Chains A and B, each alone.
Chain A
Amino acid sequence: MEGGVVLLDFWASMFGMRVRIALAEKEIKYEYSEQDLRNKSDLLLQMNPVHKKIPVLIHNGKPICESLVQVQYIDEVWNDQAPLLPADPYKRATARFWADFVDKKMYDSGSRIWKTKGEEQEAAKKEFIENLKLLEGELGDNLYFGGEGFGYVDVALVPFYCWFYAYEQCGNFSIEAECPKLIAWAKRCMQKESVAKSLADPEKVYEFLLQLKKAYGIE
């Protein structure tokens, strides 16, 4: 493992996808190691003893945990191409704020869409759409978040796009109908090889989600 880059990951993880995109943007060669989350490997437990979660990035034998920390690390160390964070400190602060917003709001409200029913589910859908609309507002008329090239906030958010179909099926609603600008942005990102190759197939994600629901005892 010396000198190399290894990514411990799970194919459907939006957080893992962030790191895959960053590695692809920088054209970094790495070993992808698919993890069985129901039977966690000794390596995973050793490399992330605090959370025991993927993704874990291992560089020169040393682990880095937390997807946005990993993306920032990749951006810093491989700084010769495809900068993900802007150079200006205020723009960087704005990017970090919105990536933090994605972290705090998207996973939670998205999860509640497939974990709940009835009134709770309606509330989750409403909150999810409100959060997406705030993000749409921030995107504005830019091609990518931040108004420069494809960057940090795009990387933080776009993996959720491959989960949208699953959320829509579970919640019986259309995200595109509510947030067309955001979907247009996501499709634009999908034209990039780094994104297209890193995101999971939405149909497969939905199948996986149905299995998860069974395992959780949710109809």
Chain B
Amino acid sequence: MAVVKLLGTWLSPYSCKVIWALKLKGIPYEYIEEDLSNKSPMLLQYNPVHKKIPVLVHDGKPICESTVILRYIEETWPQNPLLPIDPYERAVALFWIKYADDKNPLIPKLYRTTGEELEQAAKECSEILETIEEHGLIEGKKFFGGDEINMVDISFCLVAHWLGVFEEIAGLKVFEPHKFPKLNSWAQNFKSVPVIKENLPDADKIFAVLKHRRETLLAPKPN
């Protein structure tokens, strides 16, 4: 029986965050793909409060919420640290991780809405990108924390990869490289990290699934 199990879904950025943390630290794990339209008894038992993936199970004990999981991984397996050691720098990193956690749910609205709602979603998205560009990224630094990828970069993965897919589905562009040059550089750097590059779900596959999901969502409801 594997000591570490991960319940996830292949296209979830939250699931990917945990995979990347485990792989960056070289932790072997058993991956279990969940069908969210038919949640397994195991998932419901391990995450009764939210009934969501990802769930990390370590020695039979479940940990839920991707950021809580990442912090647990960081404390349990300290090699290749994903958070700064200095308390102040760590507080700054945690601020940005919380910012990402609070804003991430807004970004998928791009593929789930139309009309005025979509306009609003695009505006919100643009504001998020502006904030990161202006306050989060430092000129000349490859990643949020410096030369090495850390938990902040991982937390902003939606911006680096999934946002592009949402834009294609919605037929509009929010993340214009010339408007957000630092963010654009950062996204390229992030996706070039070997662990990330080799464990990023294929954009075309995500596109196919989410396009279908959008059609279902927006289909006129029967009376």
Q: Which residues of A does B touch, CB under 8 Å?
A: 49-50, 59, 62, 64-66, 68-70, 72-73, 76-77, 89-90, 92-93, 96-97, 100-101, 134
Contact = CB atoms under 8 A, between A and B. Distances in A.
A50 B76 contact: no
Interface stretch (B65-73, B171-179, B189-197, B215-223): B65-73
B22 to A, nearest CB: 15
B99 interface: yes
A73 B64 contact: no
Contact of A73 (B69, B87, B99): B87
Interface residues of B, number: 24
Interface string B55-97: 0001001011101110110011000000000011011101100
B212 interface: no
B87 A134 contact: no
B49 interface: yes
B63 A97 contact: yes
A89 B58 CA distance: 11
A73 B58 CA distance: 27
A77 B63 contact: no
Given A50-B135, A134-B49, A65 B95 contact: yes
B19 to A, nearest CB: 18
Given A100-B65, A134-B49, A64 B88 contact: yes
A69 to B, nearest CB: 5
By DSSP majority rule, is chain B's interface helix, strand, loop, or mixed? helix
B68 A97 contact: yes
B23 interface: no
Contacts of B94: 66, 69, 72
By DSSP majority rule, is chain A's interface helix, strand, loop, or mixed? helix
B65 A90 contact: no
Nearest to A100: B65
Given A65-B95, A96-B68, 20 more contacts: A50-B99, A64-B88, A64-B95, A68-B98, A69-B94, A70-B91, A72-B94, A73-B90, A89-B76, A90-B63, A93-B68, A93-B69, A93-B71, A93-B72, A96-B65, A96-B67, A97-B63, A97-B68, A101-B49, A134-B49
Given A97-B65, A97-B68, A134-B49, A89 B91 contact: no
Nearest to A101: B49
Contacts of A92: 71-72, 75
A97 B55 CA distance: 12
A50 B131 contact: yes
Contacts of A76: 87, 90
Contact of A69 (B58, B61, B63, B98): B98
Nearest to A49: B135
Contact of A62 (B63, B65, B88): B88
Given A69-B98, A89-B76, A97-B65, A59 B88 contact: yes
17 contacts: A49-B135, A50-B131, A64-B88, A69-B98, A70-B91, A72-B91, A72-B94, A73-B87, A90-B58, A92-B72, A93-B63, A93-B69, A96-B65, A96-B67, A96-B71, A97-B65, A97-B68
